[in-house]
Structure 1
């Protein structure tokens, strides 16, 4: 009788484990489904976290060099950010306001002219026939996709303001939000989770610094170089190149395309000079400027980064490409600490730890 009761109990335990496993699998499936439906909102929320991390970095910088508390450091940081944006807008805003609409108008025509020039190349003509209007590749549809990168029902400007708003509220009291996240973890693991969140924030700050250095150097270098070469709309093209440098590896390639098209619209020789300018700037940036100015900054292997960006593009389009790398930074830190170190027991140089 005892053996029979023991067998029934073991079957009951096995059934309970199976039911728990099925329940967990169903929960994960439901969460993934809702995540796929809310991908735009989740990306917008993560962009807000990035904004908060960036502002928090300025706050920490103020506290490092000034004997003040966090609240006053936050006021100074927000003032500096507003002054930086306002000063930049006053300095280059009028010129860009004139050049950006011209750039949007001339890109389709530049692409059309390039298509006409290369139609004689074997294989190119057949590829162009796949499109009824090749210029439409760079026309309004592409502009619509760029301006609606984070957009479902809101416009790009509304989403940008929402990102800043989320970042502002997060940076006001980050410890409160971290506390609520930590409460979701079992008490024995809460200290470790705090360590993970701390290193994730540090890694994101370091990554953002490296991207900011790259964006400034590329944007200013391209604008000045194109001005000296006599390429029209040099300021707008430099702005596009600098902004797209936020995306590692793929960004510089995307940023070079408008410049090459506009330069080709003037003359093929000017397009060659523009290509040479980009090669020089990217070589100096990747081999000299970033290693010197961003020593110890966070970086991921190129092949891994590009694959992550392609996956982000497949899932969420332009927004996925833009945020794929910082999301990968957060994920890599979590995997290194929670799996490689805690589960496998191996020592590893965690991203952003040193």
Structure 2
């Protein structure tokens, strides 16, 4: 009964535990930035370095919003207004090819879904407000964790039996290195994907190329599935230019996807943990089913932690098999 009760409690608190994990991931970002500030400025005070790191991060986001917020808002409106004409052009093209009925049915179903969504705008507004509250909670908690990570680490290790303390310390070290490496590689990947998407769509004459590039950069955080989701609105808007522009847009996203898969993703895995692509794909869908949108966003770091747990705790320590834990370099003889 105790085991069942604990399992029920964990399931009931799954959203809360996911927010705690999000705060830990954000704390890793703050910690890495604070160390960078220390190397650049030579400051010894951890609190001062952390404060500078947080202020710099806030300044970057606020500055980007002030400088480009109006432009991005205009491009988002362009995306919203251009999608219906694009669907009409696709429908006309399919009708000329004899396949128009299918899209017409989809459009009718889509209009019904839009009406249903409009009737529930109040609940969605409450959900957005709850999301903002969760974000503030995660942000503040991440600052507290990053201010003294050793305190929280020692507290977690003290909960373990004595024989498990050293494996727990090693596991936490592996997780810290893996998450920081993933964040560094993912930041570079998102910036490059967003920039290449914006530049390519601008050359093709696709409207709102900047907004579409921003969407592509943000969705690059979602492994494997994100680039596909980012390509859908870009192809739809390219149809407002011409069917050939839409075809070139598909080619552009295929090229960027190949670049991301063959260059950027290996770079991320080299810095973090070499998780097999199939595991990442199933992790994204599994996290989405279990935890919703927040689970999808955190699918990659969650997979890294679970992958390290299986390797370090289960395979190496419990089964006693001699393996090299992901993210660790083999020592030369």
* TM-score after normalising by structure 2: 0.85
Q: Which residue is 2:80 aligned to?
A: 104
Structure 1: how far apart are the matches of 2:15 and 2:91?
35
Show CA shifts across 1:168-221 (max 9, x none).
121111112112211211123223212211211211111111211111001111
Structure 2: how far apart are the matches of 1:309 and 1:214?
18
Q: Is 1:86 matched with 2:86?
A: no
Q: Which residue is 2:154 aligned to?
A: 179
Q: Is 1:249 matched with 2:224?
A: yes
Q: Pick the aligned partner of 1:201 from 176, 183, 186.
A: 176
Q: 1:166 to 1:101 in 2, by over 3 A?
A: farther
Structure 1: how far apart are the matches of 2:324 and 2:265?
21
The alpha carbon displacement at 1:102 in A equals 3.0
Q: Pick the aligned partner of 2:35 from 57, 60, 63.
A: 60
Q: 1:135 to 1:300 in 2, by over 3 A?
A: farther
Q: 1:153 to 1:290 in 2, by over 3 A?
A: closer
The alpha carbon displacement at 1:235 in A equals 1.1
Structure 1: how far apart are the matches of 2:214 and 2:112?
23
Larger Rg over CA atoms? 1
Show CA shifts across 1:257-280 (max 9, x none).
111111113321111111111122
The alpha carbon displacement at 1:64 in A equals 4.2
SS in 1 for 2:240: helix
SS in 1 for 2:232: helix
SS in 1 for 2:320: coil
Q: Which residue is 2:141 aligned to?
A: 166
Q: 1:141 to 1:201 in 2, by over 3 A?
A: farther
Structure 2: how far apart are the matches of 1:74 and 1:324?
27
The alpha carbon displacement at 1:233 in A equals 0.9
Contact 2:190-2:217 within 8 A present in 1 as well: yes
Q: Which residue is 1:224 aligned to?
A: 199
Q: Which residue is 1:237 aligned to?
A: 212
The alpha carbon displacement at 1:109 in A equals 4.9
The alpha carbon displacement at 1:101 in A equals 2.9
Q: Which residue is 1:45 aligned to?
A: 20
Show CA shifts across 1:53-80 (max 9, x none).
1111112233345433222321332232
Q: Which residue is 2:318 aligned to?
A: 343
Q: Which moved more, 1:40-49 or 1:118-127?
A: 118-127
Q: Which residue is 2:289 aligned to?
A: 314
Contact 2:186-2:268 within 8 A present in 1 as well: no
Q: Which residue is 1:11 aligned to?
A: none
Q: 1:213 to 1:244 in 2, by over 3 A?
A: same
Structure 2: how far apart are the matches of 1:323 and 1:275?
27
Structure 2: how far apart are the matches of 1:163 and 1:29?
29
The alpha carbon displacement at 1:252 in A equals 0.7
Show CA shifts across 1:82-140 (max 9, x none).
23223322332221122123323433553454355436778884586477423567899
Show CA shifts across 1:227-246 (max 9, x none).
22211111111111110000
Q: Which residue is 1:302 aligned to?
A: 277
* TM-score after normalising by structure 1: 0.81
Q: Which runs of 5+ in 1 are unaligned?
A: 1-25
Q: How do residues 30-41 of structure 1 correspond to structure 2 at under 5 angstroms? A: 30-41=5-16
Q: Which moved more, 1:163-172 or 1:292-301?
A: 292-301
Q: 1:107 to 1:123 in 2, by over 3 A?
A: closer
